[in-house]
Amino acid sequence: MTNLLLLGFLPSGSEWIIIALVILLLFGGKKIPELMRGLGKGVKSFKDGVNEAKEEIDKAKEDLDKPAEEKK
């Protein structure tokens, strides 16, 4: 039910065009590639951090499982 309510607030096709035009007017054509490059680097570093956290969790889980296997 909550998911359906949230979908009502997402922009539709024509609203995305208006948002893109406003961004173009605010930042200009030369700044947009720099902004997207920075956004891409931010997303990449976020993914790297998530993957690193997953690896640490898996390693800790394996370390916890080893003593339990040795007792058997």
pLDDT tens for each residue of 18-47: 888 888 888 888 888 888 899 999 999 999
Residue 18 and residue 11: Cα distance in Å, rounded?
10
pLDDT tens track for 17-26: 888 888 888 8
* Domain containing residue 45: 2-71
Number of domains, the chain:
1
Stated pTM of the model = 0.55
